[in-house]
Structure formats: structure tokens, C-alpha cells
Amino acid sequence: MKAKVYFTKEITPDSLIKIYEALGVELTGNVGIKVSTGEKGSKGYLKSDLIKPLVDKLNGTIIECNTAYPGARNTVEDHMEVAKEHGFTDMGQGVEIMDGIGEIKIPVPEKSKHLKYDLIGKGFEKYDSILNLAHGKGHAMGGFGANLKNQSIGIASRNGKAYIHSCGITEDPNTCWSVNYLQHEFIESMAEAAAAVADYCKENNKKIIYITVANAISVDCDCDAHQGDPVIGDIGIFASLDPVANDQAFIDAIWATHEEGTKAIQERIDTRKGRHITEYAESLGLGTTDYELINID
């Protein structure tokens, strides 16, 4: 059965609210909104003036976890300072760095090849509804980042990020970068962690929906302090109840562009085996790559 993916070319605060409403799922209770706060010095993170009206409408909390790599977001204090600089603390219920109060271990799907469990920020427990609000762009290690990356690396605690980056070898952020692995194993580890979070939400009656904003699309991630300029034009906003379908729609939209920078973003994705994440996530039962695109313009 095809998943429904809603799409609008308009990238405005009003269109973001409109596409959320098109999904037909009301996020209630304590709402967590998973957004990348962006590394200090990055450019492409979702800007506060775009997302603030939706965050305020949901009375949500921006939720994040600390980074495994050295930088300006690997401690709660520094991370909160960056979040404030980037405008995330002045909306909804503010910002929570979820692993600031610890971490919890959750199961991964039985079919998982690499991870034995997933480690996520303990603060995730308190949220009744989740909006996975991703920025679609390239990524130095994963090829691209959208909803699946936002749900795997993004919700993982600092130690959990190390565990995913090392494909299940170590939880130590100081040693995870020296672990040798094959590229497809890292892509699959991200998919396993994303599926673990989806299963956890289902088992604990947490609603979760997925939106990707495809603007300011550079070959680098928002976690890169030296993020380059966009290489292709803005595409639009995708929304679905299926994270695999939503990521697939984003990738297909990139491949449908024919701009001067299209080759650069395609090469970034394929040299990192980035497109493998949707097919592997589908094999885990997380969602489907078969979708119907519904234009709401």
C-alpha cells in the first residue's frame, strides 16, 4: 500500500502549518519537536522565523541531544547557548537537551544487523506527541539528512550517537571515530536506530509525524560549522506519517532537479551510499519507499 506524502512548493510559516494540518493528526499533550539546532557557524538550520508559528501553535518544546563530536553543542550549557543564538529558545516551551538528564536504552528491531539496542535522551520519555521536523540537506558521513537521520542520530544521546557512528562497537564519544566499518554498515545503523525510536513511540502510545523542509540545500549538514552555500534551489516541504516515504520523496525530488549544482548533491549522497537508508529501513518494517505525492498548493 502506498504511503501518502504531502507536498507544497511554498516555504513559509503559513505553508508549514498548512502541511501539518493536511496530515490530519493532531499532536496533543506534551509535544516534542525534534529540530537540529545547528552547529555554531552553520547556515542552513531551520530558521526560527519559519518554524516559530507552528511551534507556538503546538505549544511544543524543541528537543535535542548533545553531539558526540567536539564542538559547541557537546555539553548542555554550550548547546543551550547555541540554541539561544539561533533563536530556538524564544518559541513554544523553549528547548530541552534530552540527554542532559541521562539516557535510556530501547530495543532495536529483531532484524537489526549492527546495533543491539539504541540509546536515546531520557527526556524523550516525557513527550506524548512528536513532530520530527527535519531540514533536508547533504551530509558528510550519511550522504544526506532528513527525517531518518533526525530520528536516529538526532534523538540518540551523546553516547548513543557514538554507538551508532561506530556501528554498535562503542558508546565512547572519544573512541568512536577511530572504529573501522564499511559505509553501508553506518547507513544501516542509522536506519536501525530510527526504527527503534518509531517502535518505542508505538509501544508507548506516542504520536509521531514527519515533516522535511527542503530549503538551503547544501552538500554539508547543519552540524558542520563550516557549512557551504546551497548548491540547488529550494524545493519545498514534504510531510507524511511514514518517515521512509518522506525521505524517499525528498531524494526523488533532488534527482528530478537539473541545476548546475545537482551533480554535487547527488555525488555527495551516492559516494556515501545515502540512498541505501530508505531501502534498508523498509526491510526493517519502518515504512515503505512506495508513495503517492499529494500536492496541496
pLDDT at 221: 86
List the one residue out of 189, 191, 30, 56 whose CA is nearest residue 125.
30
**Low-confidence residues of the chain: pLDDT under 70:** none
Model pLDDT, residue 70: 87
Q: Tell me, what DSSP letter sits at residue 200?
A: H
Q: What is the pTM of this model?
A: 0.98
Q: Where are the domains of the chain?
A: 3-295
* Separation of alpha carbons 30 and 15, rounded Å: 23
CATH topology classification for 3-295: Rossmann fold (3.40.50)
CA pair distance 171, 116, nearest whole angstrom: 12
pLDDT digits (tens, 9 = 90+) for 213-228: 999 999 998 887 889 9
Only one residue has cell 513532530, namely: 131
Structure confidence at residue 207 (pLDDT): 98
